[in-house]
C-alpha cells in the first residue's frame, strides 16, 4: 500500500459541488430551475463566445449543481451524453489531497498551481473527476456571482445524500480501496443484490464526516445481463447512475415536483398492501405514500422514505432520487429490489417501444 501522509488521511473532505457536462447549459439549468426549484447563483464564461466553457451554477439548500457546455465538455457528451462529470471536494490542503489521490491510483488531470486558480483535479473512474478546492470555496475562482432574476420557489431539497456509481464487473473493490486510501472514507454497508436471475454486488463508502457517500454497484458476470449492464452499454462505461437529494418533508417536495411535471417510477399496489407488515409508518398517511410512489424502509434508528424519478435522459442513464431520513442511516436495503424491479420494467418498456 502506498505511503499516504496522515495529514491527507485526516483531511476530511466535504462536498463542494457536482458538475454536469451537457450539450446546452441553459436548457439544463432551466429544467433544474422550473422542475426542481434550483436558482442560478453564478456563471463562468459566456454563451456563444467561443470560449472553452460556459457554466451556470445553481443552488438550493446546501446543494450546488453546475451545468457546463463547451470544448471542455464536448468529448464527455459525445461519449456519454449529458451526465455527472465532476464531483468536487473541499479539502484543507489541496496539494496534499492531490498527492494522496494520485498515490492511491488516480490520474492527474490538473495539478495544483497549473491553472493559477489554486485548485486541482484527478480522474477517478470512467470519465468522472474530483476537483479539489480549498475549504472556503464551493465553486472554482473563475465563477462570478449573479443577482437572481426573480425569487425562486424551492422544492424543499436540502442536502445531497449520496451518489450511485455503476461500475464495470470487477471494479468495485478497487474503487472502495481508492476512496479509503486517498480520502479516508470508510465502508459502511455491503450486500449482494438478487433480482430474479440478475445479480449485482453493492458496497457503500462514506467520508469520515458523513458528508460524501458513494453507493457502488457492479454486475455479477455469472448472472443474467440486466439494467446495470444496460447502463454500462448505453453510457459507454462506468458512471453516475443517479444522485440522491435529501428533503425534510418528502410529501410536500413530491407535491411540488409532480406539479412541475417530474414523474416517478411506478410502484406496484402490492408494495403498499404489504407495507404495514414490514414498516410502521407514523410520519405520513398511507395514501400519500401510494400517491407519489414513495418507498418506506426502516433500520434500528428510524425510517427512510425515498422515490426515484423517471429518467428523461435520451439514453436512460441518469435520474434523481429524492429521500427523507427520519433517523434512518441505511439506504433502503429492503427497497432495493423494488427499485431495480421498477427500473428493469422501465428498461424493458423502453426497449419494446424502440422496436415498435
Tell me which range, 277-281, 294-298, 339-343, is most confidently predicted by mean pLDDT.
294-298
pLDDT in tens, 55-94: 999 999 999 999 999 999 999 999 999 999 999 999 999 9
Answer yes or no: are the C-beta atoms of 305 and 299 closer than 8 Å. no
pLDDT in tens, 296-305: 998 888 999 9
Answer yes or no: are the C-beta atoms of 241 and 231 closer than 8 Å. yes
Per DSSP, the residues of 56-113 read: EEEEETTEEEEEEESHHHHHHHHHH-SEEEEEEEEES-HHHHHHHHHHTTPEEEE-TT
| pTM higher than 0.85 | yes
Residue 146 binned pLDDT confidence (cut-offs 50, 70, 90): very high
pLDDT in tens, 198-251: 889 999 999 999 999 999 999 999 999 988 999 999 999 999 999 999 999 999
Q: What is the structure's pLDDT at 352?
A: 66
pLDDT in tens, 107-128: 999 999 776 677 999 999 999 9
Amino acid at each position: 500500500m502506498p505511503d499516504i501522509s496522515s495529514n491527507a488521511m485526516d483531511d476530511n473532505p466535504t462536498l463542494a459541488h457536482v458538475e454536469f457536462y451537457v450539450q446546452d447549459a441553459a436548457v439544463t439549468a432551466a429544467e433544474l430551475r422550473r422542475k426542481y426549484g434550483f436558482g442560478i447563483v453564478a456563471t463562468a464564461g459566456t454563451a456563444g463566445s467561443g470560449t472553452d466553457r460556459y457554466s451556470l451554477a445553481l443552488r438550493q439548500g446546501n446543494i450546488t449543481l453546475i451545468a457546463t457546455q463547451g470544448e471542455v465538455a464536448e468529448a464527455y457528451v459525445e461519449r456519454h451524453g449529458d451526465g455527472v462529470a465532476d464531483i468536487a471536494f473541499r479539502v484543507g490542503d489541496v496539494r496534499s489531497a492531490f498527492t494522496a489521490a494520485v498515490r492511491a491510483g488516480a490520474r492527474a488531470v490538473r495539478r495544483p498551481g497549473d491553472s493559477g486558480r489554486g485548485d486541482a483535479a484527478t480522474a477517478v473512474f470512467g470519465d468522472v473527476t474530483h476537483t479539489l478546492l480549498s475549504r472556503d470555496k464551493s465553486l472554482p475562482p473563475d465563477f462570478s456571482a449573479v443577482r437572481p432574476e426573480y425569487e425562486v420557489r424551492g422544492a424543499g431539497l436540502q442536502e445531497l445524500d449520496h451518489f450511485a456509481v455503476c461500475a464495470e464487473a470487477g471494479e468495485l473493490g478497487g474503487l472502495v480501496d481508492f476512496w479509503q486510501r486517498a480520502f479516508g472514507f470508510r465502508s459502511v454497508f455491503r450486500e449482494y443484490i438478487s433480482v430474479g436471475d440478475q445479480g449485482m454486488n453493492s458496497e457503500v463508502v462514506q467520508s469520515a464526516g458523513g458528508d460524501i457517500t458513494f453507493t457502488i454497484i457492479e454486475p455479477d458476470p455469472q448472472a443474467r445481463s440486466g439494467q446495470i449492464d444496460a447502463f454500462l452499454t448505453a453510457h459507454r462505461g462506468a458512471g453516475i447512475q443517479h444522485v440522491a437529494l435529501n428533503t425534510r418533508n418528502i410529501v410536500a417536495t413530491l407535491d411540488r415536483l409532480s406539479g412541475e411535471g417530474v414523474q416517478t417510477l411506478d410502484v406496484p399496489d402490492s408494495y403498499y398492501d404489504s407495507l404495514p407488515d414490514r414498516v410502521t409508518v407514523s410520519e405520513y398517511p398511507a395514501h400519500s405514500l401510494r400517491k407519489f410512489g414513495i418507498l418506506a424502509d426502516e433500520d434500528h434508528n428510524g425510517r427512510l422514505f425515498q422515490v426515484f424519478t423517471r429518467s428523461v435522459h435520451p439514453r436512460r442513464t441518469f435520474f434523481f432520487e429524492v429521500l427523507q431520513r427520519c433517523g434512518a442511516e441505511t439506504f433502503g436495503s429492503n427497497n432495493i429490489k423494488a427499485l431495480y424491479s421498477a427500473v428493469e420494467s422501465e428498461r424493458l418498456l423502453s426497449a419494446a417501444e424502440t422496436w415498435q
